[in-house]
Amino acid sequence: MNKPGLILALVLSACAVTPAPAPVTVVDAAPRWERLGERVVNGAVDRDVIHVGRAEGRFHRLQVTVENSALEMFDMLIVFGDGSTYSPPTRLVFERNTRSRVIDLPGNARVIRRVEFRYGNLPGGGRAHVELWGA
């Protein structure tokens, strides 16, 4: 290689920029859903309580699944470990084998003492099986 070509090659190699590695983006992994309890709805109007407790951990969100029959949910009351309560708007009709939207709990991760339900089976479907899930 001639002298001007060698100088040009050295200049170009000195100016070559090695791209920096792409920054690592931490993506919040999909929440781990844990079944907190279940109940069978016994009538057209029924009240049930699922006791959760401190041993189950802290949760940011809840979800309800309904299997075997359609169900109308009138009320849902969440009682936290410190005694405070939260009642998300839940006047819902569930078709059989469906689930609620994700219910975000207020504040940071919370210990749930219990969740109280007031709901009823819809006519002609049998007895609904309700599960409470937390993440």
Domain boundaries, the chain: 30-134
Task: Report the percent of the chain where pLDDT is more than 90.
Answer: 64
Per-residue pLDDT for 88 more than 50? yes
Unique residue bearing structure tokens 């002609």: 124
Pairwise pLDDT comparison (8 vs 4), residue with the higher score? 4
Residue with tokens 């009351």: 77
CATH of domain 30-134: 2.60.120
Q: Give residue 124's pLDDT.
A: 82
Residue 132 confidence class, pLDDT cut points 50, 70, 90: very high
Q: Record the tokens describing residue 44, joined without a space.
A: 């057209």
Q: Which residue has the higher pLDDT, 11 or 111?
A: 111
| 88: three-class secondary structure by DSSP | coil
Largest CA distance in the chain: 95
37-62: average pLDDT:
92
**Mean local confidence (pLDDT), 44-53:** 93
